[in-house]
Chain A
Amino acid sequence: MEEPLLRVQDVGKFFPPRERNAQPFWIIRGLTFTVAEGEFVTMIGPSGAGKSTLLNLIAQVDTPSEGEIAFRGRTISSPRSTVLRPGFDRQIGYVTQEDNLLPWRTTLDNVLFPLELRGGADAQGRARAGELMAAVGLAGFERHYPHELSGGMRKRCALIRTLLYDPPIILMDEPFGALDAQTRAQLQEDLLRLWSMRRKTIIFVTHDIAEAIVLGDRTLILSRPPTRIAGAHSIALPRPRDVHAAARQEGFAALHDAIREQVR
């Protein structure tokens, strides 16, 4: 059997109890799933379901208390890991809930930042950055500082910053969570268009069922803590998808209802 790109095996994470003699709080326990190369997986779960914790474990910002995480068949994280390697040497990209742009860098310099960290941006990198910025409507804002941009623009900037250095897998933690419906739909469209250009592997966490269906090839449903996989659905809607019309497509409503039943 072919080894999946990412394998999360029986992973658990607990937080030590506040008071002595109290039970530790397991936010995640016995969580198992795999992600194939080029797959767009969406994850949905109730608030407080340890979604961000899970992504932090995969991105190696945190170590699991039990289980292991394997990337291309190689264990990269387990309770025995002593050294954290955030991003696993640029193999795992991470678009967090907050944009985390460096406030003292212009939009363009923020986008180029990952290239600069590896010896500087060559002409090809710059051209690609320009393309990406144009693709998400940031052309003309290259010299602006983050505080001069709207929330949606900052999100786009953070998104293409990660796309630019092209990590094999990208984690996204409710990246469009705090935006208004209009901007959100626009960004979903942008993301789908960018994704269709180079089918990256993406794990996209959200609490919006419609978003999970519109974007993903497959959606995983997370339970309340201790969080595990409570269900999985393949999404057979044809691509390319129209963000605005998806809800009227055949099968959408049934899927939506089925997922809502399971997200408790």
Chain B
Amino acid sequence: MTSRVRTVVDRVVVGVGLLLLWQVAHMAAGTYWLSSPWQTLQRLGELAASGELARHAAYTLRAAGYGFVLGGVPGLLLPFLLRRLPIVSATIMPFMVAGYGLPKLALAPLFILWFGIGIESKVAVVAAATFFLVFFNVEAGVRALDLKLVRMAQILGASEMQVARHVILPGAVPFVFAGIRTATPYAIGAAVIAELISSNRGLGYLVQLGASNFDARTMIAAVVATTAIVVGANSVVNALERWLLRWRPRSGFAAGAASGEF
């Protein structure tokens, strides 16, 4: 109990220290270069009050959400399909690996060229980035499938469909979540990048808007808001995962973090 209290105290001390550091840097550099924590908060308040923050955030989240579904759903289903088609699977795997290795964000200019500076190009970037992340995580799950459990279910009289429903699907859930957990911050990040390159709305645009006005307050406020959204989305996914996977022994912080992608 005392060690827990100590941890809380430590964390507060570190947090206050970081804020102080920010404040000192601000005082040394000036508002033009770095707005103070208070100024940033004020600017966030202004943006929130005027409804601008919500408008831009909604745009970014919409792009991330559409792209997530567009890329994530095929990435989720394909491994299950390929499980039954080993030859097809072996044939396309090198292409998938290449697609995974490729920096999808580098395709952003191409998508902007194709789809214009509207939401479509952002959705395309997010979908391209999400697809491979989800695909490879789920694929690992389908591969790691415990064959003994499949066999046992068959011995107990399970049909092909029942094996899929009762053994393969629940067994893959942790991996599906690993994919979703990895892809969530990535999807939001990808939408923001596409907006940074070319857009007239969204959180990425808000950062660029601040930059073009040499307004550090707006830039930092937009970055803080985006970070908060990513952290919020992460905790929603984590809570959902904890609930769906309550049958699993609890794993530590490092175990979860080790499968992350940033």
- The answer to whether B162 touches A86 (Cβ under 8 A) is no
Known: A100-B149, A105-B247, A147-B248. A117 touches B170 (CB 8 A): no
Given the contacts A100-B149, A102-B170, A104-B170, A87 and B154 also touching, CB distance less than 8 Å: yes
Residues of B within 8 A of A145 (CB): 246-247
Does A37 sit at the interface, judged by CB under 8 A? no
A89 and B247 CA atoms in complex are apart in Å by 30
**Does B158 count as interface, using CB distance less than 8 angstroms?**
yes
On whether A165 and B247 interact (CB within 8 A), knowing A100-B148, A113-B166, the answer reads no
Q: Does B155 contact A (CB under 8 A)?
A: yes
* Distance from B61 Cβ to chain A, minimum over Cβ atoms (Å): 31
Give the interface size class of chain A: 20 to 34
Q: Are A102 and B155 in contact (CB under 8 A)?
A: no
- A59, A87, A103: the one contacting B157 at CB < 8 Å is A87
B156–A90 contact, CB under 8 A?
yes
User: Knowing A113-B166, A117-B162 touch, does A103 contact B248 (C-beta < 8 A)?
Assistant: yes
Q: B residues within 8 A CB of A114?
A: 156-157
A95-150 interface (Cβ within 8 A of B)? 96, 98, 100, 102-106, 113-114, 117-118, 145-147
B157 touches A98 (CB 8 A): no
Given A145-B247, A147-B249, CB of A102 within 8 Å of CB of B157: no
8 Å CB interface, B145-196 against A: 148-149, 151-159, 162, 166-167, 170-171, 173
- Let me know if A161 and B247 touch, CB within 8 A: no
Taking a contact as CB atoms under 8 Å apart, the answer to whether B155 and A98 are in contact is no
**In the complex, what distance in Å separates the CA atom of A61 from the CA atom of B149?**
12
Contacts of B245 in A (CB 8 A): 104
Shortest Cβ distance from A162 into B: residue: B156
Collect the chain B residues with CB atoms within 8 Å of residue A106's CB: 247
Expressed in whole angstroms, the Cα–Cα distance for A86 and B152 within the complex equals 8
Cβ-based interface call for A93 (8 A) = yes
How many of chain B's residues touch chain A, expressed as a range? 20 to 34
Assess whether B247 is in contact with A103, with CB atoms less than 8 Å apart. Answer: yes
B155 A59 Cβ-Cβ under 8 A: yes
Count of chain A to chain B residue pairs whose CB atoms are closer than 8 Å in the complex = 61
List residues of chain A with CB within 8 A of the CB of B246.
145
Instruction: Give the complex CA separation of A104 and B167 in angstroms.
Output: 9
What is the CA–CA distance of A104 and B159 in the complex, to the nearest angstrom? Answer: 19
Per the bound structure, the CA–CA distance linking A106 and B155 in Å amounts to: 20
A147 to B250 CA separation, bound complex (whole angstroms): 10
- Asked if B170 and A61 sit within 8 Å, CB to CB, the answer is no
CB < 8 Å neighbour of A89 from B149, B157, B162, B248: B157
Known A102-B149, A102-B170, A117-B162: A161·B248 in contact at CB below 8 Å: no
The answer to whether A104 and B247 have CB atoms under 8 Å apart is yes
Is residue A94 within 8 Å, beta carbon to beta carbon, of the partner chain? yes
List residues of chain B with CB within 8 A of the CB of A100. Answer: 148-149, 152
Contact A165–B156 (Cβ < 8 Å): yes
Could you tell me the distance between the alpha carbons of A96 and B249 in the complex, rounded to whole angstroms? 23
* Bound complex: CA A121 to CA B149 (Å): 21
Which one of B154, B155, B173, B247 lies within 8 Å of A93 (CB-CB)?
B155
The reply to whether B148 and A98 contact each other, CB–CB distance below 8 Å, is yes
- B158: which of A92, A117, A146 is its contact (CB, 8 Å)? A117
Beta-carbon contact of B151 and A61 below 8 Å:
yes
A-facing residues in B183-216 (Cβ within 8 Å): none
Q: Tell me the bound Cα distance from A106 to B246 in angstroms.
A: 11
CA distance A105 to B246 in the complex (A): 10
Known A-B contacts A100-B149, A102-B166, A113-B166; the reply to A90 vs B247 at CB < 8 A is: no
Please tell me if the beta carbons of B156 and A161 are within 8 angstroms of each other in the complex: yes
Complex formed: what's the CA distance from A162 to B171 in Å?
A: 22
25 contacts between A and B (CB under 8 A): A61-B151, A61-B155, A89-B157, A90-B156, A94-B155, A96-B148, A96-B152, A98-B148, A100-B148, A100-B152, A102-B149, A102-B153, A102-B170, A104-B245, A104-B248, A106-B247, A113-B153, A114-B156, A117-B156, A117-B157, A117-B159, A145-B247, A147-B249, A165-B156, A165-B157
Interface residues of chain B, those whose CB is within 8 Å of chain A, are 148-149, 151-159, 162, 166-167, 170-171, 173, 245-249
Residues of A within 8 A of B (CB): 59, 61, 86-87, 89-90, 92-94, 96, 98, 100, 102-106, 113-114, 117-118, 145-147, 161-162, 165
| Interface pairs A-B: 10 shortest CB-CB | A87-B155, A86-B154, A100-B152, A104-B247, A114-B156, A90-B157, A145-B247, A104-B170, A147-B249, A86-B155
